Amino acid sequence: MGRLNEKVAIITGGASGIGASMATLFRNEGATVIAADINQEALDKISEHENIHGMKLDVSSEEDWQALVENVESQFGKIDILINNAGVTSEKTIDQINYKDWEFLSKINGFGAMMGIKYVAPAMAKNNSGSIVNLSSVTAQVGMGLNSYSASKGSVRAISKAAATQYGRNGIRVNAVFPGVIETPMTKNLDSSKDALNRINALTPLGRLGKPEDVANAILFLASDDAAYITGAELAIDGGYSAL
Ligand SMILES: NC(=O)c1ccc[n+]([C@@H]2O[C@H](COP(=O)([O-])OP(=O)(O)OC[C@H]3O[C@@H](n4cnc5c(N)ncnc54)[C@H](O)[C@@H]3O)[C@@H](O)[C@H]2O)c1
Protein backbone atom coordinates (compact mmCIF):
# COMPACT_ATOMS: atom_id res chain seq x y z
CA MET A 1 0.00 0.00 0.00
CA GLY A 2 1.59 3.27 -1.12
CA ARG A 3 1.53 6.41 1.02
CA LEU A 4 -0.05 8.38 -1.85
CA ASN A 5 -2.49 5.81 -3.22
CA GLU A 6 -5.20 7.38 -5.42
CA LYS A 7 -3.73 10.88 -5.00
CA VAL A 8 -3.30 13.22 -7.96
CA ALA A 9 -0.13 15.31 -7.58
CA ILE A 10 1.15 18.26 -9.59
CA ILE A 11 4.91 18.81 -9.29
CA THR A 12 6.20 21.97 -10.97
CA GLY A 13 9.74 21.77 -12.28
CA GLY A 14 9.04 18.05 -12.25
CA ALA A 15 11.33 17.21 -15.17
CA SER A 16 14.72 17.77 -13.48
CA GLY A 17 16.65 17.51 -10.22
CA ILE A 18 14.56 17.46 -7.03
CA GLY A 19 11.29 17.62 -9.03
CA ALA A 20 12.15 14.53 -11.09
CA SER A 21 13.16 12.67 -7.93
CA MET A 22 9.77 13.53 -6.35
CA ALA A 23 7.93 12.49 -9.52
CA THR A 24 9.34 8.94 -9.40
CA LEU A 25 9.01 8.64 -5.60
CA PHE A 26 5.38 9.85 -5.59
CA ARG A 27 4.57 7.54 -8.52
CA ASN A 28 6.13 4.61 -6.63
CA GLU A 29 3.96 5.54 -3.62
CA GLY A 30 0.80 5.18 -5.72
CA ALA A 31 0.15 8.73 -6.97
CA THR A 32 -0.79 9.84 -10.45
CA VAL A 33 1.88 12.45 -11.10
CA ILE A 34 1.68 15.50 -13.35
CA ALA A 35 5.23 16.75 -13.96
CA ALA A 36 4.66 20.35 -15.05
CA ASP A 37 7.70 22.08 -16.53
CA ILE A 38 8.82 24.65 -19.08
CA ASN A 39 11.41 22.26 -20.57
CA GLN A 40 9.58 20.16 -23.18
CA GLU A 41 12.56 17.93 -23.98
CA ALA A 42 13.01 16.93 -20.32
CA LEU A 43 9.23 16.47 -20.00
CA ASP A 44 9.19 14.02 -22.93
CA LYS A 45 11.83 11.96 -21.14
CA ILE A 46 10.13 11.82 -17.73
CA SER A 47 6.74 11.05 -19.35
CA GLU A 48 8.15 7.70 -20.53
CA HIS A 49 7.52 6.45 -16.97
CA GLU A 50 4.13 4.93 -16.32
CA ASN A 51 1.79 7.22 -14.32
CA ILE A 52 3.98 10.31 -14.82
CA HIS A 53 2.27 12.73 -17.19
CA GLY A 54 4.37 15.58 -18.53
CA MET A 55 2.50 18.85 -19.09
CA LYS A 56 4.01 22.10 -20.33
CA LEU A 57 3.78 24.98 -17.84
CA ASP A 58 5.49 28.31 -17.36
CA VAL A 59 4.79 28.94 -13.66
CA SER A 60 4.91 32.70 -14.22
CA SER A 61 1.97 32.58 -16.67
CA GLU A 62 -1.56 32.79 -15.25
CA GLU A 63 -2.96 31.50 -18.58
CA ASP A 64 -0.73 28.42 -18.32
CA TRP A 65 -1.89 27.73 -14.74
CA GLN A 66 -5.54 28.08 -15.70
CA ALA A 67 -5.11 25.69 -18.63
CA LEU A 68 -3.13 23.18 -16.54
CA VAL A 69 -5.73 23.02 -13.77
CA GLU A 70 -8.58 22.59 -16.30
CA ASN A 71 -6.63 19.88 -18.08
CA VAL A 72 -5.74 17.94 -14.90
CA GLU A 73 -9.28 18.18 -13.51
CA SER A 74 -10.83 16.98 -16.76
CA GLN A 75 -8.33 14.10 -17.18
CA PHE A 76 -7.96 12.97 -13.55
CA GLY A 77 -11.02 14.43 -11.78
CA LYS A 78 -9.29 16.20 -8.88
CA ILE A 79 -6.04 17.61 -7.49
CA ASP A 80 -4.78 16.43 -4.08
CA ILE A 81 -1.18 17.63 -3.97
CA LEU A 82 0.70 20.63 -5.37
CA ILE A 83 4.47 20.90 -5.05
CA ASN A 84 5.67 24.39 -6.03
CA ASN A 85 9.19 23.29 -6.95
CA ALA A 86 10.06 25.03 -10.24
CA GLY A 87 12.83 27.54 -9.72
CA VAL A 88 15.77 29.43 -11.15
CA THR A 89 18.85 30.88 -9.50
CA SER A 90 21.42 33.63 -9.97
CA GLU A 91 24.89 34.25 -8.58
CA LYS A 92 24.84 38.03 -9.00
CA THR A 93 25.91 40.07 -5.99
CA ILE A 94 23.89 43.08 -4.82
CA ASP A 95 26.11 45.55 -6.71
CA GLN A 96 25.46 43.65 -9.98
CA ILE A 97 21.68 43.32 -9.72
CA ASN A 98 19.30 45.39 -11.82
CA TYR A 99 15.51 45.41 -12.01
CA LYS A 100 15.41 42.81 -14.82
CA ASP A 101 17.40 40.32 -12.70
CA TRP A 102 15.12 40.92 -9.72
CA GLU A 103 12.00 40.53 -11.88
CA PHE A 104 13.22 37.30 -13.51
CA LEU A 105 13.91 35.55 -10.20
CA SER A 106 10.84 36.92 -8.46
CA LYS A 107 8.36 36.12 -11.20
CA ILE A 108 9.37 32.46 -11.39
CA ASN A 109 10.27 31.67 -7.76
CA GLY A 110 7.83 33.93 -5.92
CA PHE A 111 4.96 34.86 -8.26
CA GLY A 112 5.05 31.35 -9.80
CA ALA A 113 4.45 29.70 -6.42
CA MET A 114 1.70 32.17 -5.56
CA MET A 115 -0.07 31.58 -8.89
CA GLY A 116 0.13 27.83 -8.30
CA ILE A 117 -1.74 28.33 -5.04
CA LYS A 118 -4.20 30.79 -6.61
CA TYR A 119 -5.31 28.34 -9.31
CA VAL A 120 -4.93 24.98 -7.55
CA ALA A 121 -6.42 25.82 -4.12
CA PRO A 122 -9.98 26.32 -5.51
CA ALA A 123 -9.78 22.86 -7.14
CA MET A 124 -8.63 21.35 -3.82
CA ALA A 125 -11.31 23.23 -1.88
CA LYS A 126 -14.03 21.42 -3.88
CA ASN A 127 -13.02 18.26 -1.95
CA ASN A 128 -12.18 20.15 1.25
CA SER A 129 -8.76 18.52 1.12
CA GLY A 130 -5.30 19.21 -0.21
CA SER A 131 -1.61 19.50 0.55
CA ILE A 132 0.67 22.17 -0.89
CA VAL A 133 4.43 22.18 -0.33
CA ASN A 134 6.53 25.16 -1.40
CA LEU A 135 10.27 24.97 -1.98
CA SER A 136 11.99 27.88 -0.30
CA SER A 137 15.73 27.59 0.44
CA VAL A 138 18.31 27.77 3.23
CA THR A 139 19.30 31.05 1.54
CA ALA A 140 16.03 32.55 2.85
CA GLN A 141 17.24 31.82 6.39
CA VAL A 142 20.99 32.46 6.39
CA GLY A 143 23.22 34.71 4.25
CA MET A 144 24.90 32.78 1.46
CA GLY A 145 25.48 35.48 -1.12
CA LEU A 146 22.81 34.46 -3.67
CA ASN A 147 21.04 37.78 -3.27
CA SER A 148 18.07 38.12 -5.60
CA TYR A 149 17.59 34.34 -5.28
CA SER A 150 17.49 34.65 -1.46
CA ALA A 151 14.96 37.47 -1.73
CA SER A 152 12.70 35.46 -4.04
CA LYS A 153 12.90 32.46 -1.70
CA GLY A 154 12.12 34.72 1.27
CA SER A 155 8.87 35.57 -0.46
CA VAL A 156 8.11 31.85 -0.82
CA ARG A 157 8.52 31.52 2.95
CA ALA A 158 6.08 34.36 3.60
CA ILE A 159 3.57 33.21 0.96
CA SER A 160 3.49 29.75 2.60
CA LYS A 161 2.50 31.15 6.00
CA ALA A 162 -0.10 33.45 4.47
CA ALA A 163 -1.65 30.67 2.38
CA ALA A 164 -1.71 28.26 5.35
CA THR A 165 -3.87 30.72 7.27
CA GLN A 166 -6.08 31.58 4.27
CA TYR A 167 -6.87 28.01 3.19
CA GLY A 168 -6.88 26.00 6.46
CA ARG A 169 -10.68 26.12 6.73
CA ASN A 170 -10.87 24.67 3.22
CA GLY A 171 -8.99 21.57 4.40
CA ILE A 172 -5.83 22.65 2.58
CA ARG A 173 -2.45 22.40 4.30
CA VAL A 174 0.44 24.60 3.13
CA ASN A 175 4.00 23.97 4.27
CA ALA A 176 7.46 25.17 3.24
CA VAL A 177 10.77 23.34 3.03
CA PHE A 178 14.25 24.86 3.14
CA PRO A 179 16.78 22.69 1.29
CA GLY A 180 20.50 23.31 1.79
CA VAL A 181 22.87 22.66 -1.09
CA ILE A 182 21.49 19.73 -3.06
CA GLU A 183 23.40 18.10 -5.92
CA THR A 184 21.23 18.83 -8.97
CA PRO A 185 21.73 20.49 -12.39
CA MET A 186 20.99 23.83 -10.67
CA THR A 187 23.99 23.64 -8.31
CA LYS A 188 26.25 21.93 -10.88
CA ASN A 189 25.88 25.06 -13.03
CA LEU A 190 26.98 27.43 -10.24
CA ASP A 191 30.48 27.93 -11.70
CA SER A 192 31.63 30.93 -9.74
CA SER A 193 30.37 29.46 -6.46
CA LYS A 194 32.32 26.17 -6.55
CA ASP A 195 34.61 27.26 -3.70
CA ALA A 196 31.62 28.39 -1.67
CA LEU A 197 29.93 25.00 -2.18
CA ASN A 198 33.07 23.23 -0.95
CA ARG A 199 33.15 25.47 2.12
CA ILE A 200 29.46 24.76 2.84
CA ASN A 201 30.10 21.04 2.45
CA ALA A 202 32.95 21.23 4.97
CA LEU A 203 30.79 23.13 7.49
CA THR A 204 27.61 21.02 7.17
CA PRO A 205 27.13 19.05 10.42
CA LEU A 206 26.11 15.88 8.57
CA GLY A 207 29.29 16.20 6.49
CA ARG A 208 27.91 16.02 2.96
CA LEU A 209 25.83 17.90 0.44
CA GLY A 210 22.21 16.81 -0.04
CA LYS A 211 20.80 14.50 -2.69
CA PRO A 212 17.48 15.05 -4.50
CA GLU A 213 16.09 11.97 -2.69
CA ASP A 214 16.80 13.60 0.71
CA VAL A 215 14.41 16.40 -0.24
CA ALA A 216 11.89 14.15 -1.99
CA ASN A 217 11.53 11.87 1.05
CA ALA A 218 10.86 14.77 3.43
CA ILE A 219 8.32 16.33 1.05
CA LEU A 220 6.59 12.95 0.65
CA PHE A 221 5.80 13.08 4.38
CA LEU A 222 4.38 16.63 4.20
CA ALA A 223 2.37 15.79 1.06
CA SER A 224 0.88 12.63 2.55
CA ASP A 225 -1.96 12.16 5.05
CA ASP A 226 0.70 11.29 7.68
CA ALA A 227 1.09 15.07 8.05
CA ALA A 228 -2.68 15.65 8.44
CA TYR A 229 -2.31 18.15 11.34
CA ILE A 230 0.72 20.02 9.99
CA THR A 231 0.24 23.34 8.22
CA GLY A 232 2.22 26.57 8.14
CA ALA A 233 5.32 24.59 9.16
CA GLU A 234 8.91 25.18 8.05
CA LEU A 235 11.22 22.20 7.57
CA ALA A 236 14.96 22.58 7.02
CA ILE A 237 16.46 19.83 4.82
CA ASP A 238 20.06 20.99 4.97
CA GLY A 239 22.17 18.49 6.91
CA GLY A 240 22.07 20.90 9.86
CA TYR A 241 23.65 23.87 8.05
CA SER A 242 21.10 26.42 9.30
CA ALA A 243 21.65 25.20 12.89
CA LEU A 244 25.24 26.52 12.87
N1 LIG B 1 19.57 22.42 -5.63
C2 LIG B 1 19.66 23.11 -4.52
O3 LIG B 1 20.72 23.20 -3.89
C4 LIG B 1 18.44 23.82 -3.96
C5 LIG B 1 18.53 24.36 -2.67
C6 LIG B 1 17.42 25.02 -2.15
C7 LIG B 1 16.26 25.14 -2.89
N8 LIG B 1 16.23 24.60 -4.15
C9 LIG B 1 14.99 24.78 -4.90
O10 LIG B 1 14.48 23.52 -5.27
C11 LIG B 1 13.76 23.63 -6.49
C12 LIG B 1 14.26 22.60 -7.50
O13 LIG B 1 15.63 22.89 -7.79
P14 LIG B 1 16.62 21.88 -8.53
O15 LIG B 1 17.92 22.01 -7.83
O16 LIG B 1 16.00 20.55 -8.69
O17 LIG B 1 16.80 22.65 -9.92
P18 LIG B 1 16.78 22.15 -11.44
O19 LIG B 1 17.36 23.28 -12.20
O20 LIG B 1 17.39 20.80 -11.56
O21 LIG B 1 15.22 22.02 -11.75
C22 LIG B 1 14.39 23.15 -11.83
C23 LIG B 1 13.26 22.82 -12.81
O24 LIG B 1 12.41 23.98 -12.87
C25 LIG B 1 12.04 24.15 -14.24
N26 LIG B 1 11.65 25.55 -14.49
C27 LIG B 1 12.44 26.65 -14.54
N28 LIG B 1 11.70 27.74 -14.84
C29 LIG B 1 10.42 27.31 -14.98
C30 LIG B 1 9.20 27.97 -15.28
N31 LIG B 1 9.14 29.29 -15.53
N32 LIG B 1 8.07 27.23 -15.32
C33 LIG B 1 8.10 25.88 -15.11
N34 LIG B 1 9.23 25.22 -14.84
C35 LIG B 1 10.38 25.92 -14.77
C36 LIG B 1 13.30 23.76 -15.02
O37 LIG B 1 13.00 23.48 -16.38
C38 LIG B 1 13.76 22.54 -14.24
O39 LIG B 1 13.16 21.35 -14.74
C40 LIG B 1 13.95 25.08 -6.96
O41 LIG B 1 12.85 25.86 -6.56
C42 LIG B 1 15.19 25.51 -6.22
O43 LIG B 1 15.26 26.90 -6.06
C44 LIG B 1 17.26 23.95 -4.70
The pLDDT tens digits of the residues spanning 111-124 come to 999 999 999 999 99
Residue 134 lies in a domain: yes
Give the closest residue (by CA) to ligand 1 atom 41: 87
Q: Which of 126, 124, 128, 158 is nearest to 141 (CA)?
A: 158
Residue 1 lies in a domain: no
Residue 3 lies in a domain: no
- Strands 8-12 and 81-84 turn out to be parallel
Would you state the pLDDT for residue 111?
A: 98
Would you state the pLDDT for residue 191?
A: 65
Active site residue 149: yes
Q: What is the C-alpha to C-alpha distance for residues 160 and 114, in angstroms, rounded to an integer?
A: 9
Residue 91 lies in a domain: yes
Residue to probe by mutation, ligand 1, list 10, 12, 18, 142, most atoms within 8 Å of CB = 18
Q: What is the C-alpha to C-alpha distance for residues 228 and 172, in angstroms, rounded to an integer?
A: 10
Would you state the pLDDT for residue 195?
A: 80
- Does any ligand 1 atom lie closer than 6 A to the CB of residue 68? no
Q: What is the C-alpha to C-alpha distance for residues 178 and 171, in angstroms, rounded to an integer?
A: 24
Q: Number of folded domains in the chain?
A: 1
- Does any ligand 1 atom lie closer than 6 A to the CB of residue 19? yes
Would you state the pLDDT for residue 9?
A: 99
CATH code assigned at 21:
3.40.50.720
Residue 157 lies in a domain: yes
Residue 67 lies in a domain: yes
Residue 162 lies in a domain: yes
Q: What is the C-alpha to C-alpha distance for residues 58 and 182, in angstroms, rounded to an integer?
A: 23
Residue range of the domain that includes 90:
8-182+211-236
Q: What is the C-alpha to C-alpha distance for residues 177 and 18, in angstroms, rounded to an integer?
A: 12
- The stretches in the chain having pLDDT less than 70 are 191-193
Q: Which of 99, 119, 149, 229 is catalytic?
A: 149
Q: What is the separation of C-alpha 57 from the centre of its chain, rounded to a whole number of angstroms?
A: 14
The percentage of the chain sitting over the pLDDT mark of 70, rounded to a whole number, equals 99
Would you state the pLDDT for residue 167?
A: 98
Residue 206 lies in a domain: no
Residue to probe by mutation, ligand 1, list 43, 56, 178, 186, most atoms within 8 Å of CB = 186
